[in-house]
Structures are given as structure tokens and as C-alpha cells.
Amino acid sequence: MISFRMMLAAAVAGSLVAAPAVAKPKKPVGPPPVPAVQESDWVQVDPDNLLVIDTTRGRIVAELYPSLAPLTVERIKTLARQHFYDGQTFFRVIDQFMAQTGDPTNTGTGGSTLPDLAAEFTFRRTPATDFAPLTVDHGQTTGFLGAMPVGSQSDTLLSMSASGSVSAWGMFCPGVLGMARADKPDSANSQFFIIRQTSASIDQRYTAFGRVLQGLEFVRLIKVGEPVTPPQDKMTRVRLGSDLPPGESVALSRLSLKSANFMATSAVIKDRKGPDFTVCDLDVPVKDRAKATSAASPAD
């Protein structure tokens, strides 16, 4: 004899079996697609802030940043316009670190006839600074100013600062240009170096004033030595982009830090690297507008 309890259990079991399955929403696989770069996303680099270094290895083009180090940038421009750097060698090159040049004596002790420079290890960042933050950690913010990786005190301190500014500094990621100096902070003159690999240990100890936009592969090909034994690689000609002869113009643009493509790409790389991420893991894309124009021109 079937009890009422057994009949009720069978009915419940039947209703469970007969109930239609509800499909669970699928989780997206991987990061969202990165938006394509739009033509309006490119920012033209001022040719007066382009340092064009022709070397025995190839051409290196760096962007100078007067907002980080105005005295240093003015000195580099002055010496370039005097053709001071033409023919000078890379006399001290340390693999995994940097390539040093700018000494007419080729010894590391020489300089120009101009007075030594005051240190510009840091600069003041204000709300008006065109700074794109990427990370905030232990009260410090890192990000980019143009193509230059920058570290800074946090926005919290910025909002509390009586001057409306906080301390910031260029970070020595690959391709960053820095001023060489003696032991005294205010002893930089004409010598500079180009970073070959990330060198965070010298952040805020040397003046960072520019970054390579094209030709970092040539920096890494420069002959290594401390000192370098002859024959040494050299700078055959150093000019500002605005001073190049007709027909030799250099026209570069870099991707806007506010573009959807750059922000999405940054997010993907940050997620991939996790807690190990630094701004040195990210490069700002650069476009050679002169080559693009040449490629678009009809053949003769």
C-alpha cells in the first residue's frame, strides 16, 4: 500500500525532473577587444623637441621634455645647434645599463665651455600637467607624460598641497636620456647617457630629460666597454628636428594617452603582469608620418 508521503515524494521528484533547465550566462573569455587606433588619436611631436642623433649604428630620434628639465633641455639644444656633439664617441657603455657620450676628451672628465647645470632630478606636477596615471602604490603614482615614464607623489597630496603641486620625476626606463655628472648633484654639463635596460636605482639621482622614440635597437647595438676600446661607435651628427636641412625632415607622432586604444592596451598589460607591472612594461606607440606620407604617394 502506497502511503500519502510516498505519493508526495514521487510527485515532487517528477516535477523536478520535468522542470526545464535554465541556461547560465557564459562568462566572457579573455579581455574585451582593444579598440582600433583612430587617426585623431595621434599627437604630433614638436620638431623643435626632437633630438636626431645619427650614429655609426643607425639613427636615434629622441623627444626632449622641457617641462621636466627646462635648463637641461635648453643646454642640449644649444650644444646641438653649435654642432658640439658631432663626431663624439660613446666612450662608456655598460650592457644592461646605459651608453654614455658627450665628452670631447673621450675620458668622462670633459665638458663644454658653458657653466655646469643645476640638478633637475625632480619637477613640480600640477593639475594642469598633461600626466596620464597608471598605477598608485604606497602613496606614489606612476604614469606617462608624453612618451616619458613619470613617477609622482599622489593626487591626495596634490589636493592638500598649499602650492597646488607635488614632486614628480622622470623614470629611467629603456630609452630614457639622462645627464651624466660627477659626485656633486649640480655638476652636469654636456655628457649624457641613454638607458639600455630599466635602471630604477638611479631614479631621482640624475636628471631625466628625454626618451628615444625611434632607434632604441641601435642604442643596444653600441659597442660595450668601460672604457670602450677603439674603434668606438660615435655620433656622426646631432641636430634638432627643426634644424634639419630641407628634404631631411623628421615627422613623428605618438599615440594620445587618452585614446581608447592606449587605455585598453594599458589595462590588458597591467592585468597580464599583475603585481609585477611597472610603467617600464609599456611603450607609447609612435608613427613616422614622413614614411607614411611617402608610402601613400604614387610611384613615379
pLDDT in tens, 12-40: 444 444 445 555 666 555 567 889 999 99
Cβ atoms 51, 61 nearer than 8 A: yes
Residues of the chain with pLDDT under 50: 1, 4, 7-19, 295-300
pLDDT at residue number 28 = 56
pLDDT at residue number 300 = 43
pLDDT at residue number 145 = 97
pLDDT at residue number 23 = 59
pLDDT at residue number 293 = 55
pLDDT at residue number 158 = 85
Domains and CATH numbers, the chain: 40-107+119-241+251-289 (2.40.100.10)
pLDDT at residue number 202 = 98
pLDDT at residue number 4 = 45
pLDDT at residue number 160 = 87
pLDDT at residue number 70 = 98
Count of positions (residues) in the chain: 300
